[in-house]
Structure 1
Amino acid sequence: MAGSQGPLVLGPMLRYIGETDATVWVETAEPGVVTVKADGREWRAPTFSVMGHHYALVVVDGLAPGDELPYAVRFGDVVVWPLADSRFPPPRIRTIDRSRPTRLLFGSCRTSVPHDREGNSSNGVDALRALALALADGEEAWPDVVAFLGDQVYADATSEAMRDFIAERRDITQPPGEEIKDYEEYAHLYGLAWSDEAIRWLLSTLPSCMIFDDHDIRDDWNTSWTWQEEINQTSWWHERLMGGLSAYWVYQHLGNLPPAELARDEVYAQVLAAGSGDGAEGSGIDLTEPVFDLSRRVDRHPEVYRWSYRRELGDCRLVVVDSRAARVLDPDRRSMLDPDEMAWLDEQLTGDVEHLFIGTSLPFLLPPGLHDFEAIDEVLAQGAHGRLVAAAAERARQTIDLEHWAAFNEGFAEVFDMVIDVARGNRGRAPSTVLFLSGDVHNSYVAEVTDAAARHGAQSRIVQAVCSPIRNPMPRVVRVLMSAFARSLVRPMHFIAARSRRVPDPAFPWLVTDGPWFDNCLAEATIQGPDVAIVWRGGEVRDGDDLHPVLTTVGAVRIPGGLDDGARAGESAADGRPTVAR
């Protein structure tokens, strides 16, 4: 197993963090009791198993805001973390402190290939690892949390190491070939993603939250009704989906939940029920059937379980939205979110916070030219100009990934109305910014709703910030096209869209104000009172030292918070440059 070191297979990973509590996730080689030790205190949890793998999630509570506590992990009677020969600083639990400016990292799309010259030549320098090395050396200020916004693992584009593992256990000439097949292969895939020494240390000491995107399961996952019908006809898809969703619940989703929600989770509650009051008994409970049963039900009825969640970060709120599993694919009423998920999001989008972050793997505000292109394709795929055109539009949708919010206009418009309502101050005091955080598109940029105060009565800036990829660069030929959709193709695409009554014209126009940048990078949003400063950083190899890249700046913007009736109408939030409305 990738990442295995004695009794500790993978982790620890510091996941949820609040003002007074935290959770620590581990994978172990056998059943037992996991203990977290910090500040002279101990917290324990029994392991549970899924498909023969053993895990534990330890709730660390009774802390104080702003605590910075070095910690250790014990499995049974053996201290398994930190490693005795580690060259990295001791891991610590650092709780949220409202008096400290919030620093939120975010990004998506990270492949798991070696960090040597060959890996860096094919996939570029891993921005997450470059940041880990800089933090370990004390060269960067410490963030509060990192939000991984999708594609933490690539189930459909495997590395050489993953392919070797697959070939050892089955015939790769049979479907699904070199793609991931089942839970066992997913477990190995996560091990490859998180077992590098620097990455493992970083994830043990920097809290993280996560959400899936398509490659966590498969490219174009839930793109359309047609895609779903086609994939369900294959012999291998059901096992892949069940393994992928079940592994996501174990490796990613559990750590997103605060302790109070863990106790209410229909599956994890069985772990708590099996243990004693101090959480030290009942180790070894097998959750295989409950977890796979959940995955089966979610596949048929997405409303039975919620992958979305929220985090309170001092005077900010982060709402992370599932924009994959909760889709409505019926051609007559396509929406990114089903009614239950939409109602939940409606409840979360309120004011009375300084900054409202909305995390969604797919950018809510695409470059305007691309938004119009996808909206046109959606109309054509629905049969507006006959079956032959619809078939061609469907092929285009699947081939070039035309399945963002623009391709689900009903849900897009509904969410936009909610956001404008927040920005107008109709749901409590208007935040300084409503800021969408996204990834997926393998380029980074900033977009802003234009004339938000004068035309829409907004008191908040409404901004989209995208960071992608962490490590999976876009081919150069596609970079040219993406730049065109952000700039030169805006007017032509809008002209085409405007000639059709069927293509919706967004009620609240926006423009790309900064970017696109195409480097591997990880973004950090730092709260500075009503303002937000965002910097995108990557890694650069110098003097041929591929294993020790230097952190570099890819791009940076400062977003002034708040609006008045005349504030910068039609100007860029980043630098005041004139912009052109769509």
Structure 2
Amino acid sequence: MATSPLVLGPMLRHVDETSASVWVETRAGCRVSVSAGGRSWQARTFVAHGHHYALVEVDGLEPGSTQPYEVEIDGASVWPEPDSAYPPSAISTLMPRRPLRMAFGSCRTSVAHDRSGNRTHGVDSLRAFALAVAAGRDIRPDLLLFLGDQVYADSTTSQMQEFIRSRRDIHEGPGTELKDFEEYAHLYQLAWSDEANRWLLSCVPTAMIVDDHDIRDDWNASLDWKRRMEATSWWQGRIVAGLASYWVYQHLGNLSPAERAADPLWRRIGEYDGAEELDLTDPLDEFADRADKEPASHRWSYCRDFGDVRLIVVDSRAARDLTPSARGLLDAQELAWFDDQMHGGFRHVLVACSLPFLLPIGLHHVEAWDEAIAQGARGRPAAWLGERLRQAVDLEHWAAFQNSFQAVARMAMEVADGERGPSPLTVTFLSGDVHFSYLAEVQRDGGARILQAVCSPVRNPLPRFIRWFAVATSYGVATPLGAAAARSVKVPDPPFRWNTVKGPWFDNNLALLQDGPDGLTMTWHTGVVHGGDELHPRLEEVASVTVPVKRDAELSA
């Protein structure tokens, strides 16, 4: 069987009412065409580190329309694949005033979908979701939002390690972790080439944001962590490769046509008219190096409005200020941008961030206490211990950046109270990262509801003994003990209290958010194998919660 000239994709990325973006990786330089409804759109590939990519901008579509599409490379049809078991891939544009339906989740490892892979990593909930959509189940979302750890650069599978060993000595740094762009490219191929997921990604628009494992565990946890990484022989190559590949594989497709037009790298692609394929390798690496060293030079965050729902997707990793005197999860420039996006006048304001804004409150207090200790509240010996603890057990969420937490909490309350325009029904934070799922709500007597919904992992469950540790440090007696510890080092109290109203649960999950006349409904789904059929898991509901329109109504589950 001949090898397809298409390596990855097509992936349907940014879609609005009249346009769509189709991303591909190809085996060689070529011209890529997307055809739908009797029309065709084209783009030339560009090359980065020997890999070839194109993003085709499809425009002039009708709002609320659905058009099957085909992909050609240099005039030869490459998608749909012959004898595909899946329905034709189609572009569905947004319909004005149609209520938003969006799926979200984070943390997905790429292992086989056989019995062995399912035993060690659980059923891939994304794949179970894809099979259910392909079978005609009425759950197809307008957007699939990946909230970080789309790939694991630091915790590689045996299949990825086999590729690494074919290139270099795995006993030299960085060992089994990724080293360069070539290894990232192979990791993305492992993550996105399964036939069911590939089909889903070809017909459901996707948006993404980076988290630590896309680069390395605890990425930018503290200045101490950053200095320790920079002292290694391999970190500079890793961070440049990680951010460069992130721009190509994830970030580029997050942008609207207007936002891409303002991106210097994309302008270079669009303006190029040379006879040979544009080689973006050096400019891309220079950009990635600058983005790491000067975070204010590029913004990974973005904002999209879906009718009367605003979605703000926040980068909580690359935009940090690690200076001890100005420590922030968002630096001053990023915080100002976020402040500009946070206003009312929408039915719902959704704030998507890889890290939960509202952790279980016991864990919140522990992280706030540890930040104060690590910053010297109990002297230098205690600060050393606090820093070691922070890195050992990942105490580096919003709670561990109290300046940022307090600032964003105030913004959320101002939006919810109608101080930044008409009050929405909810201000809802959407997150992943922690490898357990839950829904929390701020305790309020009036105004919009402030919620935290977490869906994690998509496929990477916690070992059972660590699950008990997560519960013990988050709930029950941990809450008053954590609060007392935080007060002992003068951590300011949160401006509000919150509690978990659903969860936690530890299944591999993909969540579906649906706005409707009764309120905001969120449903968590997992894949379950029946009758030993590992390759065709059924999508089953884990939990469902409706946040009613009326403020005084109770959560119905």
TM-score under structure 1 length normalisation: 0.93
Q: Which of 471, 493, 514 matches 1:505?
A: 493
CA distance in 2 between counterparts of 1:440 and 1:145 reads 20
Q: Which among 493, 496, 499 is matched to residue 481 of structure 2?
A: 493
CA contact (8 A) 2:10 2:22 kept: yes
Letter aligned with residue 513 of structure 2: A
Matched, 1:549 2:537: yes
Q: For 1:180-579, what aligned pairs fall within 5 Å after superposition?
A: 180-275=178-273, 284-453=277-446, 459-497=447-485, 499-500=487-488, 502-529=490-517, 531-561=519-549, 563=551, 567=552, 573-574=555-556
Q: Percent identity?
A: 53
User: Residue 159 of structure 1 aligns with which residue?
Assistant: 157
**Alignment match of 1:68 (pick from 60, 66, 83):** 66
In the TM superposition, what is the alpha-carbon distance from 1:483 to its structure 2 partner? Answer: 2.3
The amino acid across from 2:130 in the alignment is: A
Deviation at 1:490, TM superposition (A): 4.6
Q: Kindly indicate whether the alpha-carbon contact (under 8 Å) linking 2:5 and 2:73 is maintained by their aligned counterparts in 1.
A: yes
* SS at 1:169 equivalent: coil
Q: For residues 383-408 of structure 1, what are the alpha-carbon distances to aligned partners after superposition, in whole Å with 9 as ceiling and x for unaligned? A: 11111111111111001000000000
Could you tell me how far apart the structure 2 residues matched to 1:417 and 1:452 are?
16
Moved over 4 A (4+): none
Identify which range, 164-173 or 487-496, moves more after superposition: 487-496
Contact 2:369 2:489 survives alignment (8 Å): no
CA distance in structure 2 between the aligned counterparts of 1:500 and 1:436, rounded to whole angstroms: 29
8 Å CA contact 1:45–1:58 kept in 2: the answer is yes
Structure 1: how far apart are the matches of 2:243 and 2:68? 33
Runs of 5+ unmatched residues, structure 2: none
Per the TM alignment, residue 122 of structure 1 is displaced from its structure 2 partner at its CA by 0.2
Q: Which moves more between the two structures, 312-321 or 542-551?
A: 312-321
Inter-partner Cα distance in structure 2 for 1:282 and 1:109 = 41
**1:115 correspondence with 2:108:** no
Q: Distance in 1 between matches of 2:193 and 2:19?
A: 26
SS at 2:522 equivalent: strand
- CA 1:351/1:530 → structure 2, altered by over 3 Å: closer, same or farther? farther
Is the partner of 1:425 in helix, strand or coil? coil
Q: Is the 8 A contact 1:104 1:524 kept in 2?
A: yes
For 1:55 and 1:452, the matched residues in 2 are separated by 52
Code of the residue aligned with 2:378 in structure 1: it is H
Letter in 2 for 1:364: F
Partners of 2:483 and 2:98 lie apart in 1 by 47
Q: CA deviation at 1:562?
A: 5.3
Counterpart contact for 2:68–2:91, Cα < 8 Å: yes
8 A contact 2:365–2:486 mirrored in 1: no
Deviations 1:375-426 (A, max 9, x none): 0000100111111111111111001000000000001111111111111112
Matched residue SS, 2:159: helix
Distance 2:465 2:524 in 1: 22
Question: Is the 1:461–1:562 contact (alpha carbons within 8 Å) kept by the matching residues of 2?
Answer: no
Conserved 8 A contact 2:363-2:479: no
> Which whole-Å deviations, capped at 9, do the CAs of 1:174-229 have from their partners, x for residues lacking one?
01111100000000000000000001111001100000100000000000010011
8 Å Cα contact 1:513-1:574 kept in structure 2:
no
Contact 1:96–1:314 under 8 Å retained in 2:
no
Segment of structure 1 superposing worse, 361-370 or 417-426: 417-426
Indicate if the aligned counterparts of 2:520 and 2:547 stay in contact, CA closer than 8 A. Answer: yes
**Amino acid of the structure 1 residue aligned with 2:315:** D
95, 98, 108: which is aligned to 2:96? 98
In 1, the alpha carbon distance for the partners of 2:79 and 2:345 equals 40
| CA RMSD across the alignment | 1.4
Q: Is the 8 A contact 2:368 2:486 kept in 1?
A: no
Q: Contact 1:103/1:143 (CA < 8 Å) preserved in 2?
A: yes
Distance (whole Å) between structure 2 residues aligned to residue 452 and residue 352 of structure 1: 21
1:59: which partner in 2?
Answer: 57
Which whole-Å CA distance do the structure 1 matches of 2:488 and 2:20 have between them? 52
Distance 1:452-1:347 versus aligned 2 partners, 3 A rule: farther
Q: Deviations over 1:489-517 (max 9, x none)?
A: 35423442364252221012111111001
Contact 2:372 2:489 in 1 (8 A): no
CA pair 5-133 structure 1, distance change in 2 beyond 3 A: farther
Structure 1: stretches of 5+ with no match in the other structure = 276-280, 454-458, 576-582
The separation in 2 between residues aligned to 1:64 and 1:400, in whole angstroms, is 50
Q: For 1:131, which of 104, 113, 129 is the aligned residue?
A: 129
Query: 1:311: Cα distance to partner?
Result: 1.8
Aligned residues: 556
Q: Is the partner of 1:268 in helix, strand or coil? A: helix
